[in-house]
Amino acid sequence: MTILARLDRWKEQGAISADQHTHLAGLSRREPFSIFLELNLLLYAGVVAFVVGLGWTVTTWSRQLGDIVVLTVLSGILGACSWYCFSRAPAWSPTETPASSPIFDYVLYLGSLVWCVELAYLENRFHVLSGQWDLYLLLSAGLFFFLAYRFDNRFVLSLALSSLAGWFGLTISRWPSHQDAEYRRYALLYCLLVGVGGTVLERRGLKPHFFGTYLNVVANLLFWAVLSGVFDRQGYGLWFFALLIACGASLAWGLTRRQFAFVAYAAVYGYVGASWMLIRGVNDLTAVLSYFAITAIVMLVVLIQIARRFGRPE
């Protein structure tokens, strides 16, 4: 029985009203047909193509164009985007706020990306901060966090998170003897900062719908950092212990909140780490393959139980 036939039956049974029937049958027949997603993708692709071209043009032709022209154009676009966003923005609210116009989010995103291009140009041309790229990234991250929370924009929130991560990474890369262990520690510090920050903001009711983005970024970075410790030649025991704790926390969070991405993180990252610990130094190929065949079956059985009990389709 097709969905249209079901709707007819539900209407006859009185389960849905005539108005509901008309509306839902229309949706099932794609009347009207929404191209909301397609238009948004077109806008996103347009903004990205524009900024890529802008960056490429500035890079290639800056000598011919001259500083004044380049900076005037970039500042003009930046100013226009800022004016548009601040003049059209709805009143600030700590909860999720719909954009005031369909292009609003993309104008803000365009402005943020042009800010990156202009900053890169300024530093490369005038060395304002004597090559202190990490400070630019920190400044940009701060600005993007402000904009993301002011205008309720996930694109810019992601820009803020990646700029902050870039600041941590660049700070370490400047050190003459940077090593994996230092990167790892700073990755953990980043996770701690972003995780605590996101949690505090969520608890205070400030754009709580952003929390999922924070959590996913933190979870993946944390697992990568801890796994890299497990793969180290020395001192991996503590990292393995940390991995087990992270997997337990991720699994518990995923099951209680029905966010199965975290169950998947726990299963895959945990399996990779535990497998490395157990087969580290084992040279017998038969033993290694037997390990994978048996443990993968065990994982399947456990996951099937989880799927049967918790994992309904979303």
Partner 1 sequence: MRLYSASSEETLRARQLLTDWANEGFLTKEQYQRLEQETVSELRTTNIFLRLVLFFFTLVTVGAAVALFFVGSGPSEQTIGVFLLIFAVVCYAAAEYSVFQAGLYRYGIEEALVVCSVGFLCAGIQFAFFSDSPYSPKLESLVPAVGAVLSLWIWRRFGLWYAFLAAMIFVAFLPGYWTSSHSAQHLIVAGFYAAGLVCVAAVRSRHRFDYLDDAYSLVEAFLWLGIYLAVNLQLSSFKLPTQWWSGPRAASEFARPFYWTTWVLIWCLPPIVLARGVRKKDRFVIAVGAIVAVLTFVSNKPYLGWVRHTWDPIILGILLTGVAVFIRRWLDAGSSGIRHGFTAERLSGKDKRWMDAGSAVFGLLTPQSMTPAPQTGTKHFRFGGGASGGGGATGDF
* Residue among 118, 206, 218 nearest 164 (CA): 218
For partner 1, which is the closer residue by CB, 83 or 241? 83
Shortest reach from residue 291's CB to partner 1, in Å: 8
Question: Contact at 8 Å (CB) between 227 and 269?
Answer: yes
Say whether the peptide bond before residue 32 is cis (omega within 30 degrees of 0): yes
Report the largest interatomic distance among the alpha carbons of the chain, rounded to a whole angstrom.
77
Q: Which of residues 8-37 bind partner 1 (CB under 8 A)?
A: 10, 15-16, 20, 23-24, 27-37
Q: Which of residues 196-255 bind partner 1 (CB under 8 A)?
A: 209, 212-213, 216-217
Place of tokens 């402005």: 111
Which stretch in 181-189, 197-205, 222-230, 294-302 sits in contact with partner 1 by CB under 8 A?
Answer: 294-302
Shortest reach from residue 205's CB to partner 1, in Å: 19
Among positions 8, 44, 100, 253, the unique one binding partner 1 when judged by CB under 8 A: 44
Q: Helices (DSSP H) in 204-284: which residue ranges?
A: 211-230, 236-256, 260-279
- Rounded CA gap, 166 and 51, in Å? 20
Shortest reach from residue 226's CB to partner 1, in Å: 19
Q: Which of residues 159-178 bind partner 1 (CB under 8 A)?
A: 159, 161-163, 166, 170, 173
> DSSP label at 209?
G
Among positions 154, 185, 274, 276, the unique one binding partner 1 when judged by CB under 8 A: 154
For partner 1, which is the closer residue by CB, 95 or 238? 95
For partner 1, which is the closer residue by CB, 93 or 286? 286
Please tell me whether residue 72 binds partner 1 under the rule CB under 8 A.
no
End-to-end CA distance of the chain: give it in Å, rounded.
23
Would you give the distance in Å from CA 13 to the centre of its chain? 46
* Residue among 75, 148, 73, 137 nearest 109 (CA): 148
Burial of 159 from C-beta contacts in 10 A (0-12 / 13-18 / 19+): buried
What is the length of the chain?
314
For partner 1, which is the closer residue by CB, 40 or 199? 40
Question: Contact at 8 Å (CB) between 267 and 261?
Answer: no
Tell me the site size for partner 1, rule CB under 8 A.
Answer: 111
Shortest reach from residue 259's CB to partner 1, in Å: 9
Establish how many alpha carbons lie within 13 A of residue 175's alpha carbon, considering only the half-sphere containing its beta carbon.
12
Among positions 12, 22, 52, 189, the unique one binding partner 1 when judged by CB under 8 A: 52
Establish how many alpha carbons lie within 13 A of residue 1's alpha carbon, considering only the half-sphere containing its beta carbon.
7
Which stretch in 154-162, 184-192, 223-231, 233-241 sits in contact with partner 1 by CB under 8 A?
Answer: 154-162
Q: Which of residues 251-290 bind partner 1 (CB under 8 A)?
A: 260-261, 263-264, 267-268, 271, 285-286, 289-290
Please tell me whether residue 103 binds partner 1 under the rule CB under 8 A.
yes
For partner 1, which is the closer residue by CB, 238 or 300? 300
Among positions 69, 245, 252, 297, the unique one binding partner 1 when judged by CB under 8 A: 297
Shortest reach from residue 24's CB to partner 1, in Å: 6
Question: Contact at 8 Å (CB) between 110 and 77?
Answer: yes
Shortest reach from residue 280's CB to partner 1, in Å: 17
